[in-house]
Copies of this chain bind each other. A is one copy, B any other.
Amino acid sequence: MTNIARRFDILAIGNAIVDVISSAAPAFLIDRGIPHGSMRLIDAAEAETLYAAMAPGRQISGGSAANTVAGAAGLGVRSAFVGRVAADSLGDFFTHDIRAAGVHFATAPATGGRPTGRCLILVTPDGERTMNTYLGACQELDAADLDAELVAASGILYLEGYLWDPAAPRAAMQAAIKVARAAGNKVAFTLSDVFCVNGHRGDFRDLLESHVDIMFGNENEVKALYETDDLDAAMAELSRHACITVVTRSAKGAVVVGGGHRYEVPGEAVAQVVDTTGAGDLFAGGFLAGLVQGRTLPDCARMGCISAAEVISHFGARPDADLAALVAAKLG
């Protein structure tokens, strides 16, 4: 441990993205061969074509790790974010919202390059979201953007697997891990999506082998990581590495393995699932906030479930309600 005063409890590095959310009939996906519930990366041309075909939308700031720290900040945890927007109006919107959520955000916007990243989200009547992400300026984040002092001064470094795809941000995250570990801080990582796991299985396994203290994933991601259909086998593998392993199971809640114990926490009831975008992100935000507050692992998971339940009850992946009040009402 160093003597640096901790300025933040959580520092997240991730994609700085604005979500463009529209309702879509299942046929809209089928006609275009887009797998229901998937996340895929698209280029600028496809983003334009798909957007032109989409129903009227709403724009709400997003980005997986950004959603996580917006949730954590709403739970009273000192949070910071590093990610790249462009100097354009979507970038201004992202910047406003994350700061208004109480998150420290100081990454300089890119000028003259690609525009701010956006995720075209098609929400089907079942509440499931299908995401089509144009990364844009997100890809231009590089190691020079990383303020080593900020990383060292943040208790938990949280990284999203989505950002492992482009090379420059990946290098920035690898550099950040070194700084965090040298400062004696924790490193948390989310597998993000099966496509990320399939694309970077070797890297992700290496990462878990030696560098990650807290790992988040859903059942499919964890199984994909170890190329098995047996969740317990995959979790046993994971538990050999990460100190804490958290597997989310949608409505069924979450399984947490840590400190030699395994806990199953049920999902939180939701009156109506409107849009599942951000469920995993807000789960991670609630869980990490619980850890920072020194709660037990099952209570951390319950904070995750409460936060996820709030965000899926409305459009958009940022909380509408006062998460701290929700947690206080349910957990005290």
Asked if residues B96 and A51 are in contact (CB atoms below 8 Å), the reply is yes
8 Å CB contact of A55 from B22, B55, B100: B100
Asked if residues B23 and A56 are in contact (CB atoms below 8 Å), the reply is no
Q: Which residue of B lies closest to A74 (CB)?
A: B56
Asked if residues A56 and B100 are in contact (CB atoms below 8 Å), the reply is yes
Q: Which residue of B lies closest to A118 (CB)?
A: B89
Q: Say whether A318 faces chain B, with CB atoms less than 8 Å apart.
A: yes
Asked if residues B96 and A57 are in contact (CB atoms below 8 Å), the reply is yes
Interface residues on A, range: 20 to 34
Asked if residues A97 and B56 are in contact (CB atoms below 8 Å), the reply is yes
Q: Say whether A230 faces chain B, with CB atoms less than 8 Å apart.
A: no
Q: Which residues of B contact A133 (CB under 8 A)?
A: none
Asked if residues A97 and B57 are in contact (CB atoms below 8 Å), the reply is yes
Q: Which residues of B contact A98 (CB under 8 A)?
A: 56
Q: Say whether A197 faces chain B, with CB atoms less than 8 Å apart.
A: no
Q: Which residue of B lies closest to A53 (CB)?
A: B100
Can you list, as one digit per residue, whether each of A51-90 has a CB less than 8 Å from chain B (1) or not (0)?
1101111111100000000100000000000000000111
Closest chain B CB from A114 CB (angstroms): 13
Q: Which residue of B lies closest to A98 (CB)?
A: B56
Q: Say whether A316 faces chain B, with CB atoms less than 8 Å apart.
A: yes
Q: Which residues of B contact A70 (CB under 8 A)?
A: 56
Q: Say whether A229 faces chain B, with CB atoms less than 8 Å apart.
A: no
Q: Say whether A320 faces chain B, with CB atoms less than 8 Å apart.
A: yes
Q: Say whether A101 faces chain B, with CB atoms less than 8 Å apart.
A: yes
Asked if residues A52 and B93 are in contact (CB atoms below 8 Å), the reply is no
Closest chain B CB from A121 CB (angstroms): 13
Closest chain B CB from A325 CB (angstroms): 13
Closest chain B CB from A75 CB (angstroms): 15
8 Å CB contact of A58 from B23, B52, B316: B316
Q: Which residues of B contact A101 (CB under 8 A)?
A: 56
Q: Which residues of B contact A55 (CB under 8 A)?
A: 100
Asked if residues A320 and B96 are in contact (CB atoms below 8 Å), the reply is no
Closest chain B CB from A67 CB (angstroms): 11
Q: Which residues of B contact A115 (CB under 8 A)?
A: 89
Closest chain B CB from A97 CB (angstroms): 4
Q: Which residue of B lies closest to A61 (CB)?
A: B56
Interface centre among A59, A61, A90, A93 (most CB of B within 10 A): A59
CA distance A66 to B315 in the complex (A): 22
What would 28 A/B residue contacts be, using CB atoms closer than 8 Å?
A22-B100, A51-B96, A54-B96, A54-B100, A55-B100, A56-B61, A56-B70, A56-B96, A56-B97, A56-B98, A56-B100, A56-B101, A56-B318, A57-B60, A57-B96, A57-B97, A57-B100, A58-B58, A58-B59, A58-B60, A58-B315, A58-B316, A59-B59, A59-B93, A88-B89, A89-B89, A89-B90, A315-B315
Q: Which 4 A-B pairs have the closest CB atoms?
A: A59-B59, A56-B97, A89-B89, A56-B100
